[in-house]
Chains A and B, each alone.
Chain A
Amino acid sequence: MTETATDPLSRDRSSPPVAAPRPAFRGLRRLVSWDGPMPWLAPLIALLIVFTIYPLFYNIWLSFHEYAPFKRRLEYVGFQNWATLWEDARFWGSLSVTFTYFVVVLAIEVVLGMMIALLLDSDEPGFGVLRALLTLTLVIPPAITGMMFLLIQDPEFGVLTYVLEGIGVLDGQSPILATSSTALLGVMLADVWQWTPFMVLIFLAGLRSLPQEPYEAAMLDGASALQTFQRITLPLMSKVIAVAVLIRGIDVFRMFDYVFVMTSGGPGTSTYVLSLYAWQQTFSFIKWGYGATLSLVSLAIILVIANLFIKLAKVRW
């Protein structure tokens, strides 16, 4: 049975073999040999190169050029795109809208998600069905959700408009999505409706895996429900919350569908987010170089935020 020892498929996966220390070149040779891991990793690595690594470097290369593919004009411009960015008021405006959207949407989704998760964290009959129903909003394409909320907030026949006018919040003169002070809120509504359940599901998974003993101990220590939540649940959930915010945060930061469908960035620039601006520069104005620069900035900001949250998730206990 010596053959089985070299066959990677027949390896006992429950107990991975301990790697014996060996010279580096032998490890490298094994890596690229047929019975090493490389043949199994190669397809994935190929996909990564074609769809992630090559576009990234192409983007970086593009950001130093002025490129209009239909005019077949390619020109090296050095740091000009980056200099333009610095003085571009529309870029800074879109960045500010993006950050506002990012902070408000995440805050609402985390708080609301946690509240709903706490309500649904029960073994009573019926709660399993409720939890399953939560996944429904997640399967709807965001563009469709955008259309839905466009209709709901329509100034003529939208249900939400009707209700808000009925209770006197709206005066009938300023439609939600066509008023610069409320348009972003209107877009946020779609995001919150669609993605809060995602937060709920992650938080529920977290809540359900918490140890029960500290809760019993807290009860005997005399803690009230609120004190228990503040001092026990929230700290225990901090990692889960950080991960959820990280996943959603990346998504929220590059949100495109809702504004594209609902407001196209308007009225004025009140819902003009960074991803929409990058898209417009690239595909409407055919400025591929500047579009690439904008998307790289977006990537850099996401990386910084992601790292921040990964640090937050690394708590000492």
Chain B
Amino acid sequence: MATVEYRNISKSFGSVEIMRDLSLSIAEGEFAVLLGASGCGKTTLLRMTAGLETISGGELLIGGALMNEVHPRDRNIAMVFQNYALYPTMKVFDNIAFSLEIKKLPKEEIRRRVEEAAAMLNLSDYLHRYPRELSGGQRQRVAMGRAMVRDAQVFLFDEPLSNLDAKLRAHMRFEIRQLHNQVGATTIYVTHDQIEAMTMADKIVLMKGGEIEQVGAPDELYDRPVSRFAADFIGSPTMNFIEGEVVANGAAPAFAAAGIKLDLPEALSAQPGQKVTCGVRPADLVLSGSGDIEGELVLAEKTGADLNLHLTVGGADFVATAPRGVEVKPGTAVRLAIAQEKMHLFDAETGRRL
């Protein structure tokens, strides 16, 4: 187990700079998730951590030791690759045992560790199969097993669940997190799936265009997104946004958009006339006859547990979550209420939270 620290990391491919001045520290035993859309640099950062990609500038420290020039084989890092990267010519047992054989551990010790890992991952019956004889989920577990038997300082996961079907993905999410709780190793996990990030992370690192947009616990990112981008990325269904401006409403400011006027907290640092975007999570909207937001229902989508109401509010598309059993016909006008503390206000120009 070790800390991982990135100090002013930059990365260029030829003349294209894809990452600049990135600094981040991950505590010992922490489960950190690098989250972002494809191309944001999260996988590159992970590969630089493993040593599979050179670092163009800055310093990488693992367990306090500078790692920039250390060969991947000497970093003592275990990694689970997106497409598993199993050794196709080796049976499952040898795939998992490979790193231990390299270390020249006693045969008995290797057997014990491999069998332990296999039992934990429900792979005991497959130890004598080749990777191509396994299903995607089984291959994924072999890749996990290969990482588990190592006494690695840091565990890296590169979108390990993206090739699995939804049900298996949910199950493996649980398994990986469970495993982390047992082993307690420092883990860096890359994903573009915000649900994976929300459900597994101790700390989410939201990335955008090679820079860190926000770092924090899942709740923090959900409750207080620092920008419109962060607000939009986290949460499903995604947050609703209404463009409008701040107006004076007596002593307190208010948010005004086409057909909507919402009171804002007095302490808000916004000037009347300032163009802003108001963000509201679908789950924070409540159907209420006295609500401030008026819209027209377009479609009521059943998800099983509840309903997603698709509405148009002042010409914009809006989604609200309602409990199951609510009967509304498409085309009817509905009113929605929102608690003041559940509103997120962003500067329309910079996208930063106000």
Contact = CB atoms under 8 A, between A and B. Distances in A.
B130 A316 contact: yes
B195 to A, nearest CB: 26
B98 A221 contact: yes
Contact of B72 (A220, A235, A236): A220
Nearest to A212: B85
Interface in B77-111: 77-79, 81, 83-90, 98-99, 102-103
A223 B97 CA distance: 12
Q: Which of B74, B81, B84, B85 has the most CB of A within 10 A?
A: B85
Contacts of A218: 87, 98
A214 B86 contact: yes
B131 interface: yes
B130 A217 contact: no
A77 B85 CA distance: 64
Contacts of B131: 317
Given A219-B72, A224-B73, A236-B88, A231 B79 contact: no
A123 to B, nearest CB: 14
A232 interface: yes
B228 interface: no
Interface string B97-131: 01100110000000000000000000000000011
A213 interface: yes
B342 interface: no
A238 B132 CA distance: 17
Contacts of A231: 87, 90, 98
Contact of A221 (B52, B102, B132): B102
A217 B83 CA distance: 11
A317 B75 CA distance: 31
A69 interface: no
A219 B73 contact: yes
A217 B87 contact: yes
A222 interface: yes
Given A214-B86, A216-B85, 9 more contacts: A213-B81, A213-B83, A214-B87, A219-B52, A219-B71, A220-B77, A222-B103, A223-B102, A235-B89
Contacts of A214: 85-88
Contacts of B83: 213
A-B CB proximity, top 4 nearest: A213-B85, A235-B89, A221-B99, A217-B85
Contacts of B130: 316-317
A302 B131 CA distance: 35
